[in-house]
Amino acid sequence: MTPGQWLLDFFWTNDDLLEASNKWGGVLMAITGAMIVAPQACKHALGATVGVAITKISMGIRSALARRHGGTLSQVTAVRSISFDSHFGAATATQSLRFEEKATVAEKVTWLKNQLEFIDARWQNAAARLDEIDQMTRRQLQELDTGVHAELKELRDQVGRIERDSVQIDATGLPPILAGIILTGVPEELAGWGVFGWMIFLIFAGGTIAAASRSYSSGNWR
């Protein structure tokens, strides 16, 4: 038997091998397509599974070392509490001056005028300060409004990019899922097609590999 005849008998005309390849290869293609459609979920699930496995292995090693050395490993957590003293401003005292008993009417009028001028100056200062605060508040509100609009625009752009990426991910992952459904749905019928069945299997396998490579290179798994 020549190598070509052996290859033909073992590979191209082997219906049982093609049927098994359709079943298990279709399952693998469908799983690959599902992972392409949900890359972050798969990444999180794989990371959590690997993390739990590593944690259990580490705990087993620590426990074995502890039993070997006749002791137990413990974890000590030190907590330091820091308190701060708050100092408030010192109390202020006001003093109200009264008229002297011997003050004349003119002196009292002069004193009242001085007090009115002092109050008016205080009022002018307070009004100027309030106007300054009002202008500063308006500027801050304007800056806040501008910043909010910029943030909203950035969020809209991000939502648009996410939607486009989602459509691209679905378009990349659905063909392998469809290929897996076809191969696992009618494996015996495809196995009876001989060479054409192998061609269909190889086309589906190549498409799945290309989709997985395109998904990995797109950065969706980072």
Please write the tens of the pLDDT for every residue from 16-40. 888 888 889 889 988 888 887 777 7
pLDDT at position 48, please? Answer: 63
pLDDT reported for residue 92: 41
Whole-number Å distance between alpha carbons of 54 and 62: 12
Q: What is the pLDDT of residue 220?
A: 65
Domain assignment present for 129: no
pLDDT of residue 53: 65
In a domain, 51, yes or no: yes
- Taking the CB of residue 207, how many other CB atoms lie within 10 A of it? 15
Per-residue pLDDT of the chain (222 residues; tens, 9 = 90+): 566 565 566 666 677 888 888 889 889 988 888 887 777 777 766 666 666 667 777 777 777 777 766 544 444 444 444 444 444 444 443 444 555 667 787 877 888 888 888 898 999 999 999 989 999 999 989 888 888 888 888 888 887 776 666 666 667 778 888 888 988 888 888 888 877 888 898 999 998 898 888 877 776 666
Q: Is the dihedral of CA 167, 169, 172, 176 positive or negative?
A: negative
DSSP string, 100-156: -TT--HHHHHHHHHHHHHHHHHHHHHHHHHHHHHHHHHHHHHHHHHHHHHHHHHHHH
Residue 96 counted as domain residue: no
In-domain check, residue 212: yes
Has residue 49 been placed in a domain? yes
Report how many domains make up the chain: 1
Residue 196: which domain range? Answer: 7-65+157-217
Rg (CA), the chain: 41
Specify if 205 maps to a domain: yes
Per-residue confidence (pLDDT) for residue 3, from 0 to 100: 64
Instruction: Name the residue with tokens 């004193």.
Output: 111
**By percentage, how much of the chain surpasses pLDDT 70?**
67
Within-domain flag for 124: no
DSSP code of 88? P
At residue 87, the pLDDT reads 43
- For residue 12, the model assigns a pLDDT of 63
100 assigned to some structural domain: no
Q: What is the pLDDT of residue 57?
A: 79
pTM of the model: 0.46
- What is the structure's pLDDT at 133? 92
pLDDT for the residue numbered 110: 84
